[in-house]
């Protein structure tokens, strides 16, 4: 088994943190995204869309998509649970994981994709869309501050994959000057708590 990784990209970090929380070690293979190694053969023969991370199992099965990779490890090693513990809880955690992904993580990564020089010539950049996403991201962080007023973690009492997605999104916001505002005290408290877990260094 090996995990194709890039320490510069926000998605692989989601999986690395998830694995660190589970105490699972998986051999990592770095890809050079600056040299577009993930957009060329042999990588795209295994993952035609070129996204990173990708998990390659010993039987040759290739699993792309960060959350799908996490789902695999949640299945083979349920403890500690990071994706819910019964039908209702799994659904609630998935709701929050998706909200963090769509509203926080993706808005923040779309700012980078549509406005940063790194993506110039790699994708069709639409700077106005990036700026719309910046506004949406800031609005959602303010909302998340409210959400966290009555709970320690995004999905409730327990640290879950939703916290991982939010943390990786927010940290990636630095390059686009998006982050937690000083007056967002609940979000600041949460950010401090999840950032100080050993897994955050993964």
In DSSP terms, 30 is beta-bridged to 5
SS percent in the chain: helix, strand, coil, step 5:
60, 10, 35
x/- letters, 99..138, toward a copy of itself (CB under 8 A): x---x----------x---------x-x-xx--x--x---
Under rule CB under 8 A, residue 57 binds a copy of itself: yes
Rule CB under 8 A: say whether 41 interacts with a copy of itself. Answer: no
Number of residues that bind a copy of itself (CB under 8 A): 35
- Does 153 interact with a copy of itself (rule: CB under 8 A)? no
Nearest to 100 by CA among 148, 53, 62: 148
Q: 106 or 188: whose CB is closer to a copy of itself?
A: 106
In this chain, which of 1, 24, 36, 49 binds a copy of itself, going by CB under 8 A?
49
Q: Which two tokens stand for residue 80?
A: 């500690």
Among residues 37 and 65, whose Cβ is nearest to a copy of itself? 65
HSE-CB at 76 with a 13 A cutoff on CA atoms is 10
Sheet of 54-56: strand order equals: 28-30, 2-5, 54-56, 62-64
Q: Which is nearer to a copy of itself, 124 or 196 (by Cβ)?
A: 124
**Does the CA dihedral 1-100-49-35 come out positive or negative?**
negative
- Show the tokens assigned to 91: 């659904």
- Closest approach of a copy of itself to the CB of residue 77, in Å: 9
Pairing of strands 54-56, 28-30: unpaired
List residues binding a copy of itself (CB under 8 A).
Answer: 48-49, 55, 57, 61, 63-65, 67-69, 71-72, 74-76, 86-88, 90-92, 94-95, 98-99, 103, 114, 124, 126, 128-129, 132, 135, 143
């Amino acid at each position: 088994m090996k995990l194709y990784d890039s320490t510069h990209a926000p998605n692989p970090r989601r999986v690395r943190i998830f694995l660190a929380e589970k105490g699972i070690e998986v051999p990592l293979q770095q890809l050079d995204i600056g040299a577009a190694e993930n957009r060329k053969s042999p990588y795209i023969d295994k993952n035609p869309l070129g996204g990173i991370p990708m998990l390659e199992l010993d039987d040759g099965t290739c699993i792309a998509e960060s959350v799908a990779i996490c789902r695999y490890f949640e299945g083979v090693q349920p403890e500690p649970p990071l994706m819910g513990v019964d039908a209702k809880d799994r659904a609630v955690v998935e709701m929050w994981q998706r909200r963090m992904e769509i509203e926080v993580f993706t808005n923040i990564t779309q700012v980078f994709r549509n406005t940063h020089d790194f993506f110039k010539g790699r994708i069709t950049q639409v700077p106005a869309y990036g700026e719309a996403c910046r506004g949406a991201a800031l609005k959602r962080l303010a909302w998340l501050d409210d959400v966290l007023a009555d709970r320690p973690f995004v999905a409730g009492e327990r640290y879950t994959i939703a916290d991982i997605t939010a943390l990786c999104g927010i940290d990636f916001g630095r390059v686009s000057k998006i982050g937690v505002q000083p007056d967002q005290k609940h979000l600041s408290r949460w950010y401090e708590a999840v950032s100080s877990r050993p897994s955050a260094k993964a």
